[in-house]
Structure 1
Amino acid sequence: MRRYLEIKEELIKIVAEMEPGKPLPSRPHLCDKLETTRTTLDRAIQELEKEGVVYSKAGSGTYAIGILQGKVDTVENWGVIVPSISEEIYSLLTRGIENIACRRGANIILCNSDNDPEKQKYYIKRLLLAGVSGFIIVPIISYNVEVSNILYGTLLKSNIPFVLCNRSVEGIHAPTVRSNDFYGGYIATKHLISKGYCSIAYIAQTIYSVSIERCQGYISALMENGYEIDRSMIIIPYEERKNGVYENMKQLLSQEKKPDAVFCFNDKVAVNVCRAVQDMGRKVSEEVGIIGYDNNIYASVNHPPITTISFKSMEIGEKAAEILVKLIRGEKLNSNFNEYLYQPSIVERESCLGKGKK
C-alpha cells in the first residue's frame, strides 16, 4: 500500500474518535505521531477533504466532519429562515448560528421571508424537500393564528426538529429562544424615569406579540413608580404605514399633553421619532428623551447617538443552534420549559441624559 494511503487510514481512525467540528491535532504533531513527512500527510488530508471526512480553514486548521460505522456521515444542512438578513439583529443572529454550525461541521441554508407568509411557507416546503436536518426560524409577524398553526403543525408532523427565535407561535409548542421583551420594556422605561422624565410615551410601528410585551413592561414600570397610564401616550397601530411613526410623533408633540420622553419599539422607530422631535423645533434629551431597542447601527450613528436596549442577537442564535444540535442527536433538553429567555441590557448614549441636560 502506498504510504499516503496508510496515513489516510490512520487519520480516519483519529477522526472516528472525534466529535464533528473539533480540530485535528496540528500537522507537525501528526507528522511526529504517524512518523511521516509533511508532504505525505498533506496528500492524505487532501484525500479526506475530497471525501468529506475533514475540512480545512486557512490559518485555522483542519476539522473533523464525522465518521459513522466506517463510512462518511452525510453532511448536515440546516434551514435558517429570517425576515431579512439585511437587518442587523438578524445578521448577528445568523452569525451566532453559523458559529455553532461550523463547529458541528454543518452547512446552513439561509432564506429571507420578508415577513411574507407565502414566502415563509414556500421556503419551509422547499427545505423539507431538500432533506435538511433541522430548522431555525424567526416566525413572520402574522395575525392569522390558524394559518400559522397549519404551517408549523405540518413541520411538527414531519418529525424534522426545529427551533424558533425571537418570538413564539401561538398554539405551537416548540423550543423558542428569545429576548425577554417584557423586561426590556421595563428597564427602558425605568431608565427614563431615573433621568427625571415624567410624561413618557411608547411608540411601535405595528401591533404584534413583541410590541405588546414591550408595552406591558413599559406599563409595569410606570405603575410601579406611581405614574398614571395615559392611553393617548401609547401608539401601536394595527397596520404599519409609511412615515407613520414620524407623523404619530409629530401629533403627540402637538397635543395638549406632550411627552417629555419616548420609549421606542426599536431603533428604526427611535430614529424617526428623533427626526420628528428635531423637525418640531424641540431638543432631543434636553426637552424630549428618547430610548430605542435592538442596539443596531441606526442608533449608534444617529445625531445624537440613541440610548438603546441590547438584544443579544448573537447569543440567541448560538443558543438556538445548540438546542437544534441536541434535537438532531435525539437528546432530551435539560429544561422542562420550551422557552429560553435572554435578559436584555441598557446601552447608554446621549439621547436621554435627563431633562435640561445636554
Structure 2
Amino acid sequence: MSEKRRIGLKDIARELGISISTASRALNAYPGIADETIKLVKEYAEKHNYVPNTMAVNFRKNKTMTLGIVVPELIHYFFSSVISGAIQTAKKHGYSVFVSQTDEKVANEIVACRTLLSSGIDGLLISISNETIEGKHIQEFLEEGKPVVQFDKVSDYLETPKVIVDDFQGAFNAVEHLLKKGYKKIAHIGGWADVKNSVERKRGYMEALRTNGFEIHGDFLLECTDISEQEGYEFTKKLMESHNPPDAIFCITDLVAIGAIKYLKEKNFQIPEQVGVMGFSNWQLAGMVSPGLSSVDQHAYEMGVKSTEILINILRGKALCTDQTHIVKTELIIRESTSVKSHKDQEPIN
C-alpha cells in the first residue's frame, strides 16, 4: 500500500483482514471488541498516521460542525473583533467557521447566505447590512431547521436570538460626558435613519440633551450614508462653516470621528479646547490618533463569544431558539479629544 496518501478505514480493515465496522469499533474501543483487536488496530493506525474522516462521520450524523458568519465589513475593527471572539469560541467546541462579508449590500448578503446554506453549515451568525429589512433569505435557514443568531445590526422581522450593544445608553453616557465637560452645542453625525443601532444612538444623544435641559437643534443632526472617514470630514466642514457651529461633535463611529478630527486639525481648531470630539466603537485606532479619541467601547470580542455560545447551545439542545435579546453593556473610554479641562468646565449645565 502506498504511503503517499492518507489511509482510511478501508485500508486498515483490508490490511488486518477485518471488516470496516470492526476496524471503526476497535478505534473507538467499543464494548464487545477484543482487547487484542483494539490494540492491533490502534497500533496500525498510529504507525501509518491514520486521521479520522470527521467530515464523513458528521455527514452521517447530518452535521458538518461548521458555522457561518456574515458581516458587513471584514476590515472594520469592531467586526474583526467579533469574528475573533466567535472563532475562538467555536474552536473550543469543535466547530470550524466560514466568514463572508456583504459590503453593506443586501444583494451580496443574499448570495452569502444562500452559499452558506447550500454548503451545509449547522448554524448562522449574522449582522445584517444597512439595506436589509425583512431578511427573507435569512428566514430560509430557519425553514431548513438551522438556527440563526443575529448580532449588532439586527432585524426585528426575524424571530431569532439577538445579541446587541446597549447603543442608547452608550450614546447617552457619551453626550452626558460632553455636557459635564461644559460643551453646550453638541452636534451628532449619525447613521442611516432606519438602521436600529443608528436610531438608538441618536435617541441616546437626544435624551441626554433633554435630560440636562438642552434643546435639540435640527441643524446639528446629520446622517451618513457610507459611515466613512470622508463623510466625517465633509460633515464637520459643513458644521464648522455654518452660522452656528457646534463646540462638540458626537459621531456614529470612530471612523467618522477620525474624519472630523482630520478637518478640525487642518483648520487649526484646538481639540478639545475649542471643539470636543467623541466616537463610538473604541477601535484600536482611537488610541493611536492625535489627539486620542474618546469613544464608547462596544466590547466586540465579548459579543462574538456570547453570540457563538448561544448558537452552539441551540445546536446542542441546551437552549430554545427564541427571539430573546441579549444586551452587551458599553463602557465610556475617555481620551484627549474630550478630557482636557478648559474654561467650559467652569460653566454650569442648564
Report the TM range for the smaller structure's normalisation.
0.7 to 0.9
Asked whether the 8 Å contact 1:81–1:111 carries over to 2, the reply is: yes
- Residues 254/104 of structure 1: CA separation in 2 closer, same or farther (3 Å cut): same
Equivalent residue letter for 2:239: L
Alignment of 1:310-349 (within 5 A): 310-333=297-320, 338-349=324-335
Q: Deviations over 1:106-126 (max 9, x none)?
A: 110111111121111111111
Q: Distance in 2 between matches of 1:258 and 1:82?
A: 36
Task: Give the structure-1-normalised TM-score.
Answer: 0.78
Asked whether the 8 Å contact 2:160–2:323 carries over to 1, the reply is: no
The match for 2:116 among 106, 127, 136 is 127
Q: Distance in 1 between matches of 2:224 and 2:309?
A: 36
Q: Distance in 1 between matches of 2:48 and 2:293?
A: 51
- Residues 222/11 of structure 1: CA separation in 2 closer, same or farther (3 Å cut): farther
- Residues 233/75 of structure 1: CA separation in 2 closer, same or farther (3 Å cut): same
The match for 1:78 among 54, 67, 71 is 67
- Give the match for residue 46 of structure 2: 43
Asked whether the 8 Å contact 1:75–1:105 carries over to 2, the reply is: no
Asked whether the 8 Å contact 1:80–1:109 carries over to 2, the reply is: yes
- Residues 123/287 of structure 1: CA separation in 2 closer, same or farther (3 Å cut): same
Asked whether the 8 Å contact 1:267–1:294 carries over to 2, the reply is: yes
- Give the match for residue 351 of structure 1: 337
The match for 2:221 among 227, 234, 237 is 234
Alignment of 1:131-146 (within 5 A): 131-142=120-131, 145=133
The match for 1:250 among 237, 257, 262 is 237
Q: Are 2:13 and 1:12 aligned?
A: no
- Name the Cα RMSD after superposition: 3.1
- Give the match for residue 302 of structure 1: 289
- Give the match for residue 34 of structure 2: none
Q: Distance in 2 between matches of 1:192 and 1:92?
A: 27
SS class of match (2:337): coil
- Give the match for residue 20 of structure 2: none
The match for 1:225 among 196, 212, 217 is 212
Q: Are 2:81 and 1:92 aligned?
A: yes
Q: Distance in 1 between matches of 2:228 and 2:297?
A: 26
Equivalent residue letter for 1:233: F
Alignment of 1:253-292 (within 5 A): 253-292=240-279
Task: Give the structure-2-normalised TM-score.
Answer: 0.79
Equivalent residue letter for 2:74: I
Alignment of 1:98-177 (within 5 A): 98-142=87-131, 145=133, 148-177=134-163
- Residues 100/281 of structure 1: CA separation in 2 closer, same or farther (3 Å cut): same
Asked whether the 8 Å contact 2:310–2:319 carries over to 1, the reply is: no
Q: Distance in 1 between matches of 2:26 and 2:48?
A: 11
Asked whether the 8 Å contact 2:64–2:122 carries over to 1, the reply is: no
Deviation at 1:52, TM superposition (A): 4.6
Q: Deviations over 1:127-165 (max 9, x none)?
A: 1111110101111111x63xx342233232222111111
Q: Distance in 2 between matches of 1:45 and 1:267?
A: 54
SS class of match (1:243): helix
Asked whether the 8 Å contact 2:230–2:256 carries over to 1, the reply is: no
Equivalent residue letter for 1:202: H
Q: Distance in 2 between matches of 1:89 and 1:106?
A: 22
Deviation at 1:252, TM superposition (A): 1.1
Identity of aligned residues (%): 24
- Give the match for residue 61 of structure 1: none
Deviation at 1:325, TM superposition (A): 0.6
Q: Distance in 2 between matches of 1:314 and 1:215?
A: 24
SS class of match (1:351): helix
Equivalent residue letter for 2:269: R
